[in-house]
Amino acid sequence: MVEKMKLLHITGPKGDIDRVVKFYLNKYDIHFENAMQSLGNLKNVRPFVETNLYKEAMQRGEELKGYLDGDGEGSIEMRAAQAQVIVDEVYGQIDELCTRQERLREKMLEIKEWMEEIAPFIGLDFELSKLKDFRFIDYQFGRIKVEGYHKLERYIFKNPYTLFYECNNDSKYVWGVYFVPHTYLMDVKSVYASFHFEEIEISDKFQKTPKEVFTFAKEELERCTQELEGLQMQASEIAMGRKDEILSACRSLESYCRNFDIRKYAACTQANGGGEEYYILYGWMARQDAGRLEAEIAKDDKVHWEEEEGDTAIAPPTRLKNPRILKPFEMFVEMYGLPSYNEMDPTLFIALTYTLMFGIMFGDVGQGACLLVGGILLYRFKKLRLAGIVGVAGVWSVVFGFLYGSFFGFEEVLPAVWMKPMDNIMTTLMLAVGFGGALILVAMALNIINAVRAKDYGRLFFHQSGIAGLICYGSVALCAVLFITGNGLPATIIMVVAVGVPLIAILLKEPLSHLVERKEHIFPEGSKVMFFVEALVEGFDVVLSYATNTISFVRVGAFALSHAGMMGVVMTLAGMEKGSPNWLVVVLGNILVAGLEGLIVGIQVLRLEYYEMFSRFYSGSGKPFVSFNRQ
């Protein structure tokens, strides 16, 4: 069912809004509406705009929590001002340590870059500073791919003006440095470039051999790491000394920072056009919660509330409230669309019809029991709503398994309490069509109830799923029964009167609706000839939809036959006729059929629900109830 709501109008001094949210509104689920949209036409009303004063302190608090060991929330209740003082005090104490840590991290990053730069050339046993003293010889560090290096070796062997010194290598590259007289630099450099030699610049700050530079950098990195750990330990000791205060302050600031967002829903105004400013909030609450909140606020002189009476321009949000066993089926309702506030909740309807049709189409005691147990376990431990639906559908699968006499595909183990679908194929299909017709009539009855709730009289009387449609479709169903039983004359009379008159009413739905609602223009504007042509086309579409919607339920019987047929194939493949079946084939066949057919049946039943029934009585145009405290 759709939970009944109250719209509360809450006001108070502007500076008191955080206290009200913390001590009152945080206790309840409230769906806030934008107050400016309701009061925007008033001159002395403006949006509630403020800078979040708690955000910076909250961010600092999160940084401080990084120095604490273990989890916790803090046990001290404190206001925002006190929490900000505590965070600022502790943060100030470790601010210098944090600055030193940041400098160390930057230095460590620089050292790592040095090590990455010099590591490939660690095999060069020559002081880098002395290379700069060469007057007639040039040099260049770099790397070359292995296949290019083999070609380069042949060139070097023939060229007396260059020397390549290999420093390091791996499966892909060779790192090294080449030397060349200054007068031949450009020619040799072009040749190296043709072999795809990638030049690498080495920093001028390196003085000793690459190996010595790398060793020094490694030692310096270890020293910085130890110093950083020491600074972190000092900061942790300072923070741990006030752990409970920090956690309590962070919890308080997080709450205030989150509650600060209430301002985007609020409006501001001034009493009598001047003086103290007040906030204005509009929010929907469940009636029971609203009563408790009103009782609490009544004792607070700074907070004033009013209950919006009668119809309001703000559409109430929808929150479904169903027994626990129906909760999983709310997923299907939400997929189609939540009911509007005054619309009937179809959760019970879909829970009954979905699981019933699933059982009819998938009747097997053994496989149904597996669905039942597996669905319940997954829903219990994993909270999967679809698993809960499968578990309930498994109950009906077991029930119809007994009615069909089917147990894991074995048709002779259990006697059929009702009938075996494969022994009565035509009867099975006809019963499925009759069952579908009954469900369509129920959907029409639900549409009539929703039309009464919405006070939509045109939809109530003249819609194809309204009273006219119910009489027309019900009469056709009655005529079909009379023809089948050999009563042709009464069926003909009913067909002419009880079907023809309602069908004409459906064709003239628009003018008749205008007449009932006492509108000025009964017929729509435009050519009346075109209106009647469109009405005839629409009438043909209505009759066709009645037929196709009904015949669509043949799939209910068809899948009952399909299940028996597929399991018959499994038993044949397992060699059941020989008396010594292959049990591995039986087990794997049952798993395959249960998985494949269960998925297909589940989808087909949902299609019947949405297209053949929901489309007749349900709009799904409601807006969801979104609690501010759960965003």
Q: Rounded distance, CA 383 to CA 378, Å?
A: 7
Say which range, 80-89, 327-336, 374-383, has the weakest mean pLDDT: 80-89
Percentage of the residues of the chain whose pLDDT score is greater than 70: 93
Report the domain count for the chain: 2
Cβ contact 494:482 at 8 Å: yes
Asked if residue 211 is part of any domain, the answer here is no
DSSP 300-365: -TT-EEEEPPS--SSPPPB-B---GGGGGGHHHHHHH-PPPTTSPP-HHHHHHHHHHHHHHHT--H
Residue 219 has phi, psi (to 5 degrees) of -65, -40
Q: How confident is the model at residue 54 (pLDDT cuts 50, 70, 90)?
A: confident
Asked if residue 172 is part of any domain, the answer here is no
Nearest one of 348, 354, 355 to 398, comparing CA atoms: 355
Q: How confident is the model at residue 551 (pLDDT cuts 50, 70, 90)?
A: very high
Q: What integer pLDDT is reported at residue 309 of this predicted model? A: 57
Same-domain pairing of 391 and 476 = yes
Asked if residue 595 is part of any domain, the answer here is yes
Q: How confident is the model at residue 408 (pLDDT cuts 50, 70, 90)?
A: very high
Q: What integer pLDDT is reported at residue 201 of this predicted model? A: 86
Q: What is the dihedral of CA 244, 250, 253, 259, to 10 degrees?
A: -110
Same-domain pairing of 300 and 336 = no
Same-domain pairing of 302 and 340 = no
Asked if residue 41 is part of any domain, the answer here is yes
Structure tokens at 140: 């260049």
Asked if residue 277 is part of any domain, the answer here is yes
Q: Is the pLDDT confidence value at 440 over 70?
A: yes
Same-domain pairing of 511 and 420 = yes
Cβ contact 6:285 at 8 Å: yes
Same-domain pairing of 565 and 430 = yes
Q: Rounded distance, CA 64 to CA 255, Å?
A: 17
Same-domain pairing of 286 and 374 = no
How large is the average pLDDT for residues 309-321? 78
Same-domain pairing of 439 and 298 = no
pTM (predicted TM-score): 0.73
Asked if residue 473 is part of any domain, the answer here is yes
Parent domain of 437: 329-617
Domain CATH number, residue 40 = 3.30.70.2170
- Tell how far CA 395 is from the center of its chain: 29
Question: How do residues 326-375 score in pLDDT, each as one tens digit?
Answer: 999 999 999 999 999 889 999 999 999 999 999 999 999 999 999 999 99
Question: How do residues 459-473 score in pLDDT, each as one tens digit?
Answer: 888 888 889 889 888
Question: How do residues 231-241 score in pLDDT, each as one tens digit?
Answer: 888 888 888 88
Same-domain pairing of 338 and 286 = no
Q: Rounded distance, CA 98 to CA 92, Å?
A: 10
Question: How do residues 484-527 score in pLDDT, each as one tens digit?
Answer: 776 665 656 666 666 777 777 877 777 777 677 667 667 666 66
- As to burial, measured by CB atoms within 10 angstroms (0-12 exposed, 13-18 middle, 19+ buried), residue 568 is middle
Nearest one of 606, 605, 609, 597 to 370, comparing CA atoms: 597
Q: Rounded distance, CA 29 to CA 8, Å?
A: 13
Q: What integer pLDDT is reported at residue 315 of this predicted model? A: 85
Q: Would you give the end-to-end CA distance of the chain in angstroms?
A: 23
CB atoms within 10 A of CB 449: 13
Asked if residue 176 is part of any domain, the answer here is no
Q: Rounded distance, CA 210 to CA 123, Å?
A: 7
Q: Of 307, 337, 372, at which residue does a domain stop?
A: 307
Same-domain pairing of 373 and 510 = yes
Same-domain pairing of 439 and 563 = yes
Same-domain pairing of 456 and 416 = yes
Q: Rounded distance, CA 282 to CA 148, Å?
A: 75
Amino acid code (one letter) for 361 = M
Residue 237: strand, helix, or coil: helix
The radius of gyration of the chain's CA atoms, rounded to the nearest angstrom, is: 40
Task: Give the number of residues written for the chain.
Answer: 631
Same-domain pairing of 549 and 613 = yes
State the number of CA atoms in the 13 A half-sphere of 264 facing the CB. Answer: 8
Q: What integer pLDDT is reported at residue 561 of this predicted model? A: 93
User: Tokens 């750990």 identify what position?
Assistant: 229
Q: How confident is the model at residue 454 (pLDDT cuts 50, 70, 90)?
A: confident
Q: What is the dihedral of CA 386, 391, 392, 397, to 10 degrees?
A: 120
Asked if residue 258 is part of any domain, the answer here is no
Q: How confident is the model at residue 540 (pLDDT cuts 50, 70, 90)?
A: confident
Q: Is the pLDDT confidence value at 384 over 90?
A: yes
| 488 or 69, greater pLDDT | 69
